[in-house]
Amino acid sequence: MILNIAAYHFVRIDDPSALAAQLREAAEALELRGTVLVAGEGINLFLAGDEAAVDGLLQRLTTDPRFAALQVKRSWSQACPFARLKVKLKPEIIRFDRPQADPLRQRAPAVAPETLAGWLRQGHDDDGRPLVMLDTRNAQEVAYGTFEGALTLPIAKFTDLPQALEPHREALAVATVVSFCTGGIRCEKAALWMRQSGMDNVLQLDGGILGYFERVGGQGYDGRCFVFDQRVALDPALRPLAEPAAVS
Protein backbone atom coordinates (compact mmCIF):
# COMPACT_ATOMS: atom_id res chain seq x y z
CA MET A 1 0.00 0.00 0.00
CA ILE A 2 1.08 3.55 -0.78
CA LEU A 3 0.84 6.23 1.89
CA ASN A 4 -0.40 9.59 0.61
CA ILE A 5 0.00 12.76 2.64
CA ALA A 6 -1.30 16.29 2.31
CA ALA A 7 0.45 18.70 4.65
CA TYR A 8 1.07 22.40 5.01
CA HIS A 9 2.38 24.92 7.49
CA PHE A 10 2.53 28.69 7.44
CA VAL A 11 5.86 29.83 8.86
CA ARG A 12 8.45 32.38 7.80
CA ILE A 13 11.06 30.86 5.46
CA ASP A 14 14.05 33.15 5.07
CA ASP A 15 15.68 31.11 2.30
CA PRO A 16 12.98 29.28 0.30
CA SER A 17 15.45 28.18 -2.39
CA ALA A 18 17.67 26.41 0.12
CA LEU A 19 14.72 24.67 1.76
CA ALA A 20 13.33 23.59 -1.63
CA ALA A 21 16.70 22.06 -2.54
CA GLN A 22 16.87 20.19 0.78
CA LEU A 23 13.35 18.82 0.38
CA ARG A 24 14.01 17.76 -3.20
CA GLU A 25 17.18 15.91 -2.18
CA ALA A 26 15.41 14.16 0.71
CA ALA A 27 12.32 13.21 -1.30
CA GLU A 28 14.37 11.89 -4.20
CA ALA A 29 16.54 9.81 -1.86
CA LEU A 30 13.37 8.27 -0.38
CA GLU A 31 11.83 7.73 -3.85
CA LEU A 32 8.78 9.87 -3.07
CA ARG A 33 6.56 11.40 -5.73
CA GLY A 34 4.19 14.32 -5.67
CA THR A 35 4.38 18.09 -5.34
CA VAL A 36 6.26 20.27 -2.88
CA LEU A 37 5.55 24.01 -2.82
CA VAL A 38 7.85 26.36 -0.94
CA ALA A 39 7.39 30.10 -0.38
CA GLY A 40 8.48 32.73 2.07
CA GLU A 41 5.23 32.07 3.94
CA GLY A 42 5.65 28.31 4.39
CA ILE A 43 5.37 24.90 2.74
CA ASN A 44 2.64 22.82 1.11
CA LEU A 45 3.19 19.10 0.43
CA PHE A 46 1.35 16.45 -1.56
CA LEU A 47 3.54 13.35 -1.43
CA ALA A 48 3.17 9.59 -1.80
CA GLY A 49 5.38 6.56 -1.34
CA ASP A 50 6.33 3.71 0.95
CA GLU A 51 5.08 4.35 4.49
CA ALA A 52 8.54 4.18 6.04
CA ALA A 53 9.88 6.58 3.43
CA VAL A 54 7.08 9.12 3.94
CA ASP A 55 7.45 8.89 7.71
CA GLY A 56 11.19 9.33 7.31
CA LEU A 57 10.71 12.61 5.47
CA LEU A 58 8.15 13.82 8.01
CA GLN A 59 10.43 12.93 10.90
CA ARG A 60 13.29 14.82 9.32
CA LEU A 61 11.06 17.80 8.58
CA THR A 62 9.40 18.05 11.99
CA THR A 63 12.69 17.97 13.87
CA ASP A 64 13.08 21.50 12.51
CA PRO A 65 11.28 23.71 15.08
CA ARG A 66 9.70 25.71 12.25
CA PHE A 67 7.69 22.65 11.17
CA ALA A 68 6.97 20.99 14.51
CA ALA A 69 3.26 21.92 14.14
CA LEU A 70 2.97 20.62 10.57
CA GLN A 71 -0.60 19.45 9.85
CA VAL A 72 -0.61 16.10 8.03
CA LYS A 73 -3.58 14.23 6.52
CA ARG A 74 -2.98 10.57 5.60
CA SER A 75 -4.73 8.28 3.13
CA TRP A 76 -3.86 5.07 1.27
CA SER A 77 -3.92 3.76 -2.28
CA GLN A 78 -2.86 0.62 -4.12
CA ALA A 79 -0.52 2.55 -6.43
CA CYS A 80 1.22 5.90 -6.39
CA PRO A 81 -1.12 8.64 -7.69
CA PHE A 82 1.75 10.85 -8.88
CA ALA A 83 3.92 10.29 -11.94
CA ARG A 84 6.96 12.15 -10.64
CA LEU A 85 8.33 14.52 -8.02
CA LYS A 86 7.92 18.28 -8.52
CA VAL A 87 9.42 20.88 -6.20
CA LYS A 88 8.41 24.48 -6.91
CA LEU A 89 9.19 27.92 -5.50
CA LYS A 90 6.11 30.15 -5.27
CA PRO A 91 5.28 33.69 -4.08
CA GLU A 92 2.50 32.08 -1.96
CA ILE A 93 1.93 28.42 -1.12
CA ILE A 94 -1.72 29.11 -1.94
CA ARG A 95 -2.29 32.13 -4.15
CA PHE A 96 -4.84 34.62 -2.83
CA ASP A 97 -3.38 38.02 -3.79
CA ARG A 98 -4.61 39.59 -0.55
CA PRO A 99 -1.42 40.48 1.35
CA GLN A 100 -3.40 41.81 4.30
CA ALA A 101 -4.56 38.23 4.98
CA ASP A 102 -1.16 37.25 6.35
CA PRO A 103 -1.24 33.90 8.21
CA LEU A 104 2.26 34.61 9.55
CA ARG A 105 0.81 37.35 11.74
CA GLN A 106 -2.38 35.74 13.01
CA ARG A 107 -4.86 32.91 12.49
CA ALA A 108 -8.65 33.09 12.37
CA PRO A 109 -10.47 31.08 15.05
CA ALA A 110 -11.02 27.45 14.11
CA VAL A 111 -13.68 24.89 14.89
CA ALA A 112 -12.70 21.27 15.51
CA PRO A 113 -14.30 18.56 13.35
CA GLU A 114 -15.91 16.92 16.38
CA THR A 115 -17.54 20.21 17.42
CA LEU A 116 -18.71 20.93 13.89
CA ALA A 117 -20.28 17.48 13.57
CA GLY A 118 -22.36 18.24 16.67
CA TRP A 119 -23.44 21.59 15.28
CA LEU A 120 -24.46 19.98 12.00
CA ARG A 121 -26.56 17.39 13.84
CA GLN A 122 -28.40 20.02 15.87
CA GLY A 123 -28.60 22.60 13.06
CA HIS A 124 -26.98 25.47 14.97
CA ASP A 125 -23.93 26.33 17.04
CA ASP A 126 -23.73 26.07 20.82
CA ASP A 127 -25.21 29.57 21.21
CA GLY A 128 -28.21 28.74 19.04
CA ARG A 129 -27.04 30.77 16.05
CA PRO A 130 -27.84 29.36 12.60
CA LEU A 131 -24.93 27.65 10.88
CA VAL A 132 -23.72 28.33 7.34
CA MET A 133 -21.05 26.18 5.76
CA LEU A 134 -19.06 28.24 3.24
CA ASP A 135 -17.19 26.28 0.56
CA THR A 136 -14.06 28.17 -0.52
CA ARG A 137 -13.16 25.71 -3.31
CA ASN A 138 -13.79 26.15 -7.02
CA ALA A 139 -16.77 24.84 -8.96
CA GLN A 140 -14.90 21.82 -10.34
CA GLU A 141 -14.06 20.61 -6.84
CA VAL A 142 -17.53 21.31 -5.46
CA ALA A 143 -19.09 19.13 -8.17
CA TYR A 144 -17.67 16.01 -6.47
CA GLY A 145 -19.25 16.80 -3.12
CA THR A 146 -19.67 19.33 -0.33
CA PHE A 147 -21.39 19.74 3.02
CA GLU A 148 -25.16 19.45 2.81
CA GLY A 149 -26.73 22.87 2.25
CA ALA A 150 -23.36 24.62 1.97
CA LEU A 151 -23.03 28.01 0.33
CA THR A 152 -20.98 27.38 -2.80
CA LEU A 153 -19.63 30.14 -5.01
CA PRO A 154 -19.28 30.15 -8.83
CA ILE A 155 -15.52 30.59 -8.83
CA ALA A 156 -12.84 29.12 -11.07
CA LYS A 157 -9.92 29.99 -8.79
CA PHE A 158 -9.35 30.94 -5.18
CA THR A 159 -8.52 34.56 -5.99
CA ASP A 160 -12.11 34.99 -7.25
CA LEU A 161 -13.59 34.35 -3.81
CA PRO A 162 -13.74 37.92 -2.39
CA GLN A 163 -15.77 39.27 -5.30
CA ALA A 164 -18.07 36.23 -5.42
CA LEU A 165 -18.75 36.46 -1.69
CA GLU A 166 -19.76 40.13 -1.73
CA PRO A 167 -23.50 39.63 -2.55
CA HIS A 168 -23.87 37.23 0.40
CA ARG A 169 -22.43 39.39 3.18
CA GLU A 170 -25.72 40.74 4.50
CA ALA A 171 -27.40 37.32 4.63
CA LEU A 172 -24.39 35.78 6.39
CA ALA A 173 -24.28 38.41 9.12
CA VAL A 174 -26.86 36.61 11.29
CA ALA A 175 -25.13 33.20 11.18
CA THR A 176 -22.01 31.47 12.40
CA VAL A 177 -20.09 30.93 9.18
CA VAL A 178 -17.66 28.01 8.91
CA SER A 179 -15.35 28.27 5.91
CA PHE A 180 -13.88 25.03 4.62
CA CYS A 181 -11.67 23.64 1.85
CA THR A 182 -9.81 20.44 1.02
CA GLY A 183 -7.08 20.34 3.64
CA GLY A 184 -7.38 23.63 5.50
CA ILE A 185 -4.89 25.83 3.70
CA ARG A 186 -7.37 27.99 1.78
CA CYS A 187 -9.55 28.27 4.89
CA GLU A 188 -6.60 29.85 6.69
CA LYS A 189 -6.43 32.78 4.30
CA ALA A 190 -10.13 33.02 3.47
CA ALA A 191 -11.34 33.11 7.07
CA LEU A 192 -8.61 35.57 8.03
CA TRP A 193 -9.48 37.88 5.14
CA MET A 194 -13.22 37.70 5.90
CA ARG A 195 -12.70 38.61 9.54
CA GLN A 196 -10.41 41.48 8.59
CA SER A 197 -13.10 42.76 6.21
CA GLY A 198 -15.73 42.94 8.93
CA MET A 199 -17.12 39.39 9.10
CA ASP A 200 -16.24 38.62 12.71
CA ASN A 201 -18.68 35.69 12.73
CA VAL A 202 -16.42 33.50 10.55
CA LEU A 203 -14.56 30.41 11.70
CA GLN A 204 -12.40 27.98 9.74
CA LEU A 205 -12.77 24.20 9.76
CA ASP A 206 -9.58 22.94 11.34
CA GLY A 207 -7.89 20.51 8.94
CA GLY A 208 -10.39 21.03 6.13
CA ILE A 209 -12.56 18.30 4.64
CA LEU A 210 -9.80 15.67 4.74
CA GLY A 211 -9.21 16.33 8.43
CA TYR A 212 -12.97 16.11 9.01
CA PHE A 213 -13.17 12.77 7.20
CA GLU A 214 -10.21 11.45 9.17
CA ARG A 215 -11.58 12.43 12.59
CA VAL A 216 -15.36 12.32 12.15
CA GLY A 217 -16.31 10.58 8.90
CA GLY A 218 -19.06 11.79 6.63
CA GLN A 219 -21.49 13.41 9.10
CA GLY A 220 -23.31 16.13 7.14
CA TYR A 221 -21.22 15.70 4.00
CA ASP A 222 -22.73 14.76 0.65
CA GLY A 223 -20.45 13.03 -1.88
CA ARG A 224 -16.67 12.91 -2.10
CA CYS A 225 -13.77 15.32 -1.72
CA PHE A 226 -11.80 16.18 -4.85
CA VAL A 227 -8.04 15.71 -4.48
CA PHE A 228 -5.24 16.90 -6.71
CA ASP A 229 -3.89 13.61 -7.99
CA GLN A 230 -4.84 10.53 -10.01
CA ARG A 231 -7.22 9.25 -7.31
CA VAL A 232 -9.59 12.06 -8.35
CA ALA A 233 -11.73 12.16 -5.18
CA LEU A 234 -11.93 10.49 -1.76
CA ASP A 235 -15.03 9.32 0.08
CA PRO A 236 -15.49 9.92 3.84
CA ALA A 237 -13.58 6.69 4.53
CA LEU A 238 -10.68 8.21 2.51
CA ARG A 239 -11.10 5.65 -0.26
CA PRO A 240 -10.38 6.85 -3.83
CA LEU A 241 -12.91 7.23 -6.61
CA ALA A 242 -10.36 5.72 -8.98
CA GLU A 243 -7.24 3.75 -8.18
CA PRO A 244 -4.26 5.22 -10.06
CA ALA A 245 -2.44 3.01 -12.52
CA ALA A 246 1.07 2.15 -11.50
CA VAL A 247 3.56 4.52 -13.12
CA SER A 248 7.19 3.50 -13.50
How far, CA to CA in Å, does 161 sit from each of 123, 140, 186, 196, 206? 25, 14, 11, 15, 19
Cα three-residue angle 30-45-29, rounded to 5 degrees:
15
Q: Which helix (H) or strand (E) holds 89?
A: strand 85-89
Q: Give the active site residue among 80, 181, 187, 225.
A: 181
Q: Residue 244 gets which letter from DSSP?
A: P
CB 10 within 8 A of CB 104: yes
Is residue 80 flagged as an active site residue? no
Residues listed for the chain:
248
Query: Hey, which residues are catalytic here?
Result: 181
